[in-house]
């Protein structure tokens, strides 16, 4: 069976987790055996060897990961504090976390015809990192080894969740779990929203063979509307 690599990306609070968890449940209800790499790494702070999970039909992952460098990214590098990490350090950290994830899990899963559901990925690096305070060119970011590897294995379906940046800030403030990430500022979120919806980003991934879909989660759309749209996008993609 040909692998299906579905990546969901977009602004924080735009519904990415809802889409991923909806597709996970949908596939479980269809009888697929699902391995949640997110939960495994939260518990063990390490990746399994692929041979340990090769019998699963679906793998659910996220970036940054909850293991090794990904754990440091979440708990230190992008967390609001008096310690300021440079844009270059941040870019390198994300790319290395990504490279480890791909070499240990994503590439073997693709080669073995699995379904992969992933929240965030190399898209986030291309959108966020060039507009951080320390400007790094998009070309330099794309040239990092982990990012080059990810584009070699670009998602077969890329879903970008769309929401107004003002709504994002409201949703983030309402969350029970507060990340206190350095990116949670309205002006920054407006810059990011423009980049997610840009033609250059869509064209870049389409040139690598990805089908790019946009999923609007703005009011008056409900969580149920988002869930239904996600399933329809996935099933439509599978039928093509």
Looking at the structure of the chain, the number of domains it has is 1
183-197 average pLDDT score: 85
User: For residue 176, is pLDDT > 60?
Assistant: no
Model confidence at 183, pLDDT cuts 50, 70, 90, reads low
**pLDDT (0 to 100) of residue 181:** 56
**pLDDT (0 to 100) of residue 83:** 87
Q: Which two tokens stand for residue 223?
A: 């969580």
Which CATH number does the domain housing residue 76 bear? 3.40.50.300
Tell me the sheet residues that pair with 34. 58
Domain region containing 56: 4-239
% of the chain beyond a pLDDT of 70:
95
70-82 average pLDDT score: 90
- 20-59 tens-digit pLDDT: 999 999 999 999 999 999 999 999 999 999 999 999 999 9
174-200 average pLDDT score: 77
178-203 average pLDDT score: 81
Which pTM was predicted? 0.93
**Alpha carbons within 13 A on the beta-carbon side of 74:** 16
Return the ∠ at Cα 222 (arms to 219 and 225), rounded to 5°: 120
Candidate ranges 79-93, 108-122, 155-169; pick with highest mean pLDDT: 108-122
**10, 161 Cβ separation under 8 angstroms:** yes
Return the ∠ at Cα 205 (arms to 218 and 152), rounded to 5°: 135
User: For residue 167, is pLDDT > 70?
Assistant: yes
Provide CB contacts within 8 A for 109, sequence distance 6+: 3, 50, 59, 116
């Amino acid at each position: 069976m040909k692998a299906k690599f579905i990546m969901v990306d977009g602004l924080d609070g735009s519904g990415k987790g809802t889409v991923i968890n909806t597709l996970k449940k949908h596939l479980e209800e269809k009888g697929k055996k699902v391995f949640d790499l997110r939960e495994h790494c939260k518990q063990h702070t390490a990746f399994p060897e692929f041979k340990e999970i090769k019998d699963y039909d679906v793998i659910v992952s996220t970036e940054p990961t909850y293991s090794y460098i990904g754990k440091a990214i979440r708990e230190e590098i992008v967390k609001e504090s008096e310690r300021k990490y440079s844009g270059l350090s941040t870019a390198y950290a994300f790319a290395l976390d990504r490279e480890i994830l791909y070499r240990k899990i994503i590439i073997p899963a693709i080669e073995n015809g699995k379904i992969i559901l992933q929240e965030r990925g190399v898209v986030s690096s291309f959108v966020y990192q060039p507009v951080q305070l320390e400007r790094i060119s998009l070309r330099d970011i794309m040239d990092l080894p982990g990012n080059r590897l990810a584009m070699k294995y670009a998602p077969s379906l890329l879903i970008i969740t769309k929401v107004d940046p003002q709504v994002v800030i409201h949703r983030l403030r309402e969350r029970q779990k507060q990340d206190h990430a350095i990116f949670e500022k309205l002006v920054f979120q407006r810059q990011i929203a423009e980049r997610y919806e840009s033609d250059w980003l869509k064209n870049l991934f389409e040139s690598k063979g990805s089908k790019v879909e946009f999923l609007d989660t703005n009011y008056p759309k409900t969580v149920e509307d988002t869930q239904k749209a996600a399933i329809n996008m996935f099933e439509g993609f599978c039928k093509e």
